[in-house]
Structure 1
Amino acid sequence: MSIVDTAPDVIGAQGPSYGRVAGHGVDTSHGAILYLEEITVMFDGFRALNKLSLDISVGELRCIIGPNGAGKTTMMDVITGKTRPTTGTAFFGQTMDLSRMAEHEIAHAGIGRKFQRPTVFEHHTVFENLELAMKADKRVRPTLFARLTSEQKGKIDEILHLIRLNGSETRLAGLLSHGQKQWLEIGMLLMQEPQLILLDEPVAGMSDAETARTAELLNELRGKHSIMVVEHDMGFVTEIARQGVVTVLHEGSVLAQGTMAQVQSDERVIEVYLGR
């Protein structure tokens, strides 16, 4: 399913800048944009999440790592409303209870999610993909008769430069490399002005050069958006984590948390995930 189907028109700051971390209606006065508290998810007796608690600060880039089956995808499903927690609470800002909101309401509130496999409109140009993702009135009549304003064109140009696809505006998205498609989809997310971005293994299948460029891109977004990155590539995580917090999940709960150096030296993390 396309990104504009799953996350249309999020609430964000108005104006040409894509990078404002606190949108209208999102109360982040306490400094955190996401709270998960004692989240448990049961599937036919299997505990996919087990009293999971964590929070993400405004403008933070948080890396989530852990073995397969640790609960990383289920956690993102809870945040985006795809899965309801069996017990526990999930809040966006101080007041939005995600467990009581539908998926489209969560998208409108300002949470954007990118899945591992890129989903772009391959028969449309790069420019058209960004235009289709733009936060705007998606009803048929306004769309048919819409004309881009200079401000909207400026915003698309800004995103094109950010994702390094300026000069490729008229190229069909289907002709892009795998990494370029990933960047385009991140650009489509940014067009929707999300306050919190969830990225699921963004560098899977990328070349070394594309992986390095993606690290540069996320480091540029740091502080302008709150970002949660789920990834297995430890070299990439090291590059974007810097002195930020890395959370290690195991069996549905937080096993360890700290700087990359701290989690890499944690005997529990070494045993269940990193190895020696």
Structure 2
Amino acid sequence: MNAAIKGEGVDTTHGAILYLEDITVSFDGFKAINQLNLDISVGELRCIIGPNGAGKTTMMDVITGKTRPVSGTAFFGQTMDLTSMAEYEIAHAGIGRKFQRPTVFEQHTVFENLELAMKMNKRVAPTLFFRVSSEQKGKIEEILKLIRLHGEETRLAGLLSHGQKQWLEIGMLLMQEPQLLLLDEPVAGMSDAETVRTAELLNELRGKHSIVVVEHDMAFVTEIAQGGKVTVLHEGSVLAEGTMQQVQADERVIEVYLGR
């Protein structure tokens, strides 16, 4: 198995990197998540779609420890119980999350943003006197090419386009070598050209990381799904699951989300 996928301390011998069973989250009596079951395979790129209020963001909050379920189990690999871990412990275990709005250090250069992301990984930089080694500089160069920002490393992040900021934030997550990437509407607000390049980027990451993408742009989902599994959430539960073609033809999905 690819070491980049397997990760440190993450037991994925049963083939799943993430396993949610009967997860329920309640806010003042309202079930934002209702007995949700979901499993993500090692190296899989899974798209999650559904109407607003379907529970997509709450699901990500549960995975990252931001929200605690009232019942159910959530495992990262075979042994890490996410419901008993703090947010920082989950992040250090190898789960990286990107929110819809890009959060980069705008007064720092592109290179410095990636360097700072590396510093946040305590396995790489245990002291305040951290200096980038040639090997780590090579890693940054590799990420710069991957996220389409090679040649922009000295530019202030605040001067980047919206799409470029999104790519930079993905690059910052990659610097921390996550086994599981959670991406919340990664192409929201992007130009058509940026959306195409983002699809290319995620397709390049396929198999090297396990990736969960929450997205409303159906053309983008179709481009990155590539015959893989798409999960449709509705009212906090899985409404349908299958290839993009299968869920698009599902009468229940058409009725509650896609329309005719």
- Whether TM exceeds 0.5 here: the answer is yes
Tell whether 2:154 aligns with 1:167: no
Tell whether 2:87 aligns with 1:103: yes
For 1:174 and 1:243, locate their aligned partners in 2 and report how far apart those are by CA, in whole Å.
37
Q: Secondary structure at the match of 2:132?
A: coil
The one-character-per-residue Cα deviations of 1:57-97 (angstroms, maximum 9, x if unpaired) are 00000000000000000000000000000100000000000
CA contact (8 A) 2:34 2:237 kept: yes
Structure-2 residue corresponding to 1:4: none
Q: Secondary structure at the match of 1:142?
A: coil
4+ runs deviating over 4 angstroms: 138-141
Among 46, 51, 72, the residue aligned to 1:67: 51
Tell whether 2:210 aligns with 1:226: yes
Tell whether 2:32 aligns with 1:48: yes
Among 137, 142, 145, the residue aligned to 2:127: 142
Shift of 1:147: 1.7
For 2:57 and 2:126, locate their aligned partners in 1 and report how far apart those are by CA, in whole Å.
37
What is the identity, as a one-letter code, of the residue corresponding to 2:35?
K
What is the identity, as a one-letter code, of the residue corresponding to 2:248?
Q
Shift of 1:138: 8.9
What is the identity, as a one-letter code, of the residue corresponding to 2:205?
L
In the alignment, structure 2 segments of 5+ residues that lack a partner are none
For 1:253 and 1:141, locate their aligned partners in 2 and report how far apart those are by CA, in whole Å.
42
Q: Secondary structure at the match of 1:76?
A: helix
The one-character-per-residue Cα deviations of 1:124-159 (angstroms, maximum 9, x if unpaired) are 00000000001544999922x222111000000000
The one-character-per-residue Cα deviations of 1:210-242 (angstroms, maximum 9, x if unpaired) are 000000000000000000000000000000001
Structure-2 residue corresponding to 1:156: 140
Among 196, 206, 212, the residue aligned to 2:180: 196
Structure-2 residue corresponding to 1:256: 240
Structure 2 CA distance for partners of 1:85 and 1:183, relative to 1, 3 Å: same
Tell whether 2:200 aligns with 1:178: no
Shift of 1:267: 0.2
Structure 2 CA distance for partners of 1:274 and 1:103, relative to 1, 3 Å: same
Structure-2 residue corresponding to 1:16: none
For 1:245 and 1:65, locate their aligned partners in 2 and report how far apart those are by CA, in whole Å.
11
For 1:141 and 1:246, locate their aligned partners in 2 and report how far apart those are by CA, in whole Å.
40
In the alignment, structure 1 segments of 5+ residues that lack a partner are 1-11, 14-19
Tell whether 2:221 aligns with 1:244: no
For 2:164 and 2:107, locate their aligned partners in 1 and report how far apart those are by CA, in whole Å.
15
Q: Secondary structure at the match of 2:52?
A: coil
What is the identity, as a one-letter code, of the residue corresponding to 2:113?
N
Tell whether 2:16 aligns with 1:21: no
Q: Secondary structure at the match of 2:69?
A: coil
For 1:223 and 1:234, locate their aligned partners in 2 and report how far apart those are by CA, in whole Å.
22
How many residues in Structure 1 have an aligned counterpart in Structure 2? 258
Q: Secondary structure at the match of 2:105?
A: coil
What is the identity, as a one-letter code, of the residue corresponding to 2:89?
E
For 1:201 and 1:140, locate their aligned partners in 2 and report how far apart those are by CA, in whole Å.
31
Structure 2 CA distance for partners of 1:23 and 1:139, relative to 1, 3 Å: closer
Name the Cα RMSD after superposition: 1.5
